Amino acid sequence: MIGRPDPTASRRRPSPPEGEPSVFGADEQSAQPVDLASLSRLAESVLEAEGVRGACELSLYFLDEVAMAELNERFMGMAGATDVLAFPLDDDLVDPGRSPDAGATGPDRSPVDPSEVPVLLGDVLVCPEVAARNVAERAARLAGGAGPDPDDTPNGTTVLADELALLVVHGTLHVLGMDHADDAQAAAMQARERALLERFAQPAS
CATH topology of domain 22-200: Collagenase (Catalytic Domain) (3.40.390)
Nearest to 63 by CA among 23, 29, 97, 98: 29
pLDDT of residue 55: 84
Contact 177, 107 (CB under 8 A): yes
For residue range 86-120, list pLDDT tens digits in order.
998 854 444 445 543 333 333 444 555 555 555 88
- Geometric angle at alpha carbon 34, from 83 and 135, rounded to 5°: 45
List, in order, residues 6 or more apart from 107 with CB less than 8 Å away: 86, 88, 91, 94, 95, 174, 175, 177, 178, 179
pTM: 0.75
Tell me if residue 121 falls in helix, strand or coil.
strand
How many C-beta atoms surround the C-beta of residue 76 within 10 A?
18
Cα–Cα distance for residue pair 94/106, rounded to 1 Å? 5
Q: What percent of the chain has pLDDT over 90?
A: 54
